[in-house]
């Protein structure tokens, strides 16, 4: 493939000179344009490649610190898609990584890319260079790149990986949108109730002493709650952060994580949504790995770690030993209630026809659609329920306050 020496500029004024391999000049210009560069000149390279403009020496971060770098999923998706495009256009992997590093605006991720570039040029495999940064590139990413290296289909598998990440991100955003309104509404209800109990109710307490006879039962209950909250304000104030801290501690234990994930799958209203999300993620991850050429046992090990739900992870973990002993995947999953019958039947058909990856992708698409429908249904159902609950709480407290006032008015009128 011919090599072309090029000079290109960006809208921010930066200039870049270098070489790029391509079918012809138009292919090189097209690749650079997709990367955001406007080509000034691109001519066949004569002899030695022209040197790129000198760059100031880069300060390297401590390797142990750099290895802890995390990046947003959107940034990793963009990097993967651009890398797939450049590799598919015939650009050598080291030049593709170098170009992406140069145009990266995230400083720490840029350092990571330059370190990966250095490792690749020293002869390390691409998957090996990525594996040094496990907090950026998950196991599924590294395994698929390793499979791509073995099959020689790096651009195809990188595109599959980008599609997988985009699909997973869409599902995640849908779940977030379904949870955002209830969380905000719950906080609002707590704030309004706290203001009423700590500020409004105490001001009416002195008025209530004028009433002869017993107060109405709702008023007694509201006064008792208000008096307790004010008398133990420190305890009440610490209860919420204590509960949050306890939840975090429990969720970090293996047993606690399993119990919480089991609760998520069975909780009223939201349980069905969480179950559909978990099944969609499991199906898409396994499908992506199998279609990339990752062996079934290795794929199951990765799915176990990337399932996002301890109940699903346990079922997958138990399936690894059974499958390695010759059992079918469908027969193993049939024993676990976490997997719906439709999924088990589709897996059985996929194993029989040799199209397991294709059928798993269809299952993932199906459950993605179910998640979208569930989110829309939950949103339309939860909004009026939370409004009614807010009205019940606030209205109940206000009614409890005004019942004695009505009694006072009646006693004055009667007198």
**For residues 62 and 17, is the Cβ–Cβ distance under 8 A?**
no
For 281-347, give the DSSP string: HHHHHHHHHHHTT--HHHHHHHHHHHSS-HHHHHHHHHHHHHHHTT--HHHHHTT-TTS-HHHHHHH
**For residues 216 and 404, is the Cβ–Cβ distance under 8 A?**
yes
**Is pLDDT above 70 for 241?**
yes
Residue 113's pLDDT is what? 92
**Is pLDDT above 80 for 2?**
no
d(CA 272, CA 64): 42
d(CA 352, CA 344): 12
What's the pLDDT tens digit per position in 323-379? Answer: 888 888 888 888 888 788 888 899 999 988 988 889 998 998 898 888 888 877 777
**Is pLDDT above 70 for 56?**
no
**Is pLDDT above 50 for 277?**
yes
d(CA 142, CA 128): 8
- Torsion, Cα 118 124 125 126, to 10 degrees, reads -20
Strand, helix or coil at 9?
strand
- First-last CA distance in the chain: 106
Burial (CB < 10 A; 0-12, 13-18, 19+), residue 404, is buried
d(CA 98, CA 83): 10
Which of the four pLDDT bands, split at 50, 70 and 90, describes residue 36?
confident
What's the pLDDT tens digit per position in 370-415? Answer: 888 887 777 777 778 888 888 888 888 888 888 877 766 766 655 5
d(CA 282, CA 164): 12
d(CA 256, CA 124): 40
> Is the CATH code 2.40.50.90 the one for domain 3-165?
no
d(CA 278, CA 374): 14
Domain extents for the chain? Answer: 3-165, 172-415
**For residues 120 and 94, is the Cβ–Cβ distance under 8 A?**
yes
Which of the four pLDDT bands, split at 50, 70 and 90, describes residue 58?
low
d(CA 297, CA 320): 6
d(CA 388, CA 394): 10
Token pair, residue 42, equals 């691109």
Residue 50's pLDDT is what? 42
Same fold, 3-165 and 172-415: yes
Kindly report which listed range (72-76, 97-101, 231-235, 348-352) carries the lowest average pLDDT score: 231-235
> Is the CATH code 3.30.70.140 the one for domain 172-415?
no
Residue 313's pLDDT is what? 87
CB atoms near residue 228 (< 10 Å):
13
Residue 213's pLDDT is what? 61
- The structure's pTM equals 0.64
Residue 374's pLDDT is what? 80
Q: What mean pLDDT, rounded, does the chain reach?
A: 81
Residue 349's pLDDT is what? 92
If you ran DSSP here, which 8-state letter would residue 213 be given? Answer: S
Token pair, residue 37, equals 């560069």
d(CA 253, CA 359): 35
Helix 139-151 with 296-306: angle, nearest 10 deg = 160
């Amino acid at each position: 493939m011919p090599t072309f020496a090029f000079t290109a500029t960006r809208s921010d004024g930066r200039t870049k000179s270098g070489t790029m391999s391509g079918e012809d000049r138009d292919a090189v210009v097209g690749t650079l344009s997709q990367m955001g560069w406007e080509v000034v000149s691109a001519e066949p390279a004569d002899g030695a490649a022209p040197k790129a403009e000198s760059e100031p020496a880069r300060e390297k971060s401590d390797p142990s610190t750099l290895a802890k770098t995390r990046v947003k999923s959107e940034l990793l998706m963009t990097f993967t898609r651009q890398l797939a495009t450049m590799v598919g256009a015939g650009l050598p992997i080291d030049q593709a990584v170098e170009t992406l590093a140069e145009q990266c605006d995230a400083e720490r991720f840029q350092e990571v890319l330059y370190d990966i570039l250095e490792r690749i040029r020293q002869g390390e495999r691409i998957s090996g260079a990525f594996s040094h940064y496990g907090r950026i590139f998950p196991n599924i990413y590294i395994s698929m790149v390793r499979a791509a290296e073995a099959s020689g289909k790096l651009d195809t598998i990188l595109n599959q990986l980008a599609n997988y990440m985009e699909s997973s991100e869409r599902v995640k955003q849908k779940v977030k949108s379904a949870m955002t309104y209830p969380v905000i509404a719950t906080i609002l209800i707590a704030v309004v109730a706290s203001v009423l109990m700590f500020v409004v109710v105490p001001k009416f307490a002195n008025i209530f002493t004028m009433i002869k006879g017993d107060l109405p039962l709702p008023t007694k209950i509201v006064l008792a709650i208000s008096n307790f909250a004010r008398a133990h304000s420190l305890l009440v104030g610490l209860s919420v952060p204590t509960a949050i801290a306890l939840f975090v501690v429990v969720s970090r234990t293996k047993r606690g994580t399993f119990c919480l994930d089991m609760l998520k799958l069975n909780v009223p209203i939201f349980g069905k949504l969480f179950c559909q999300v978990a099944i969609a993620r499991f199906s898409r991850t396994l499908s992506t790995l199998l279609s990339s050429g990752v062996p079934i046992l290795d794929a199951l090990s990765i799915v176990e770690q990337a399932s996002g739900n301890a109940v699903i992870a346990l079922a997958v973990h138990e399936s690894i030993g059974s499958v390695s002993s010759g059992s079918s995947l469908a027969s193993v999953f049939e024993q676990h209630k976490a997997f719906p019958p439709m999924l088990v039947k589709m897996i059985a058909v996929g194993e029989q026809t040799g199209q397991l990856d294709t059928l798993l992708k269809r299952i993932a698409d199906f459950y993605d659609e179910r998640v979208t429908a569930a989110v829309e249904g939950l949103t339309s159902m939860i909004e009026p329920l939370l409004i009614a609950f807010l009205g019940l709480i606030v209205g109940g407290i206000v009614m409890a306050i005004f019942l004695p006032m009505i009694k006072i008015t009646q006693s004055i009128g009667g007198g």
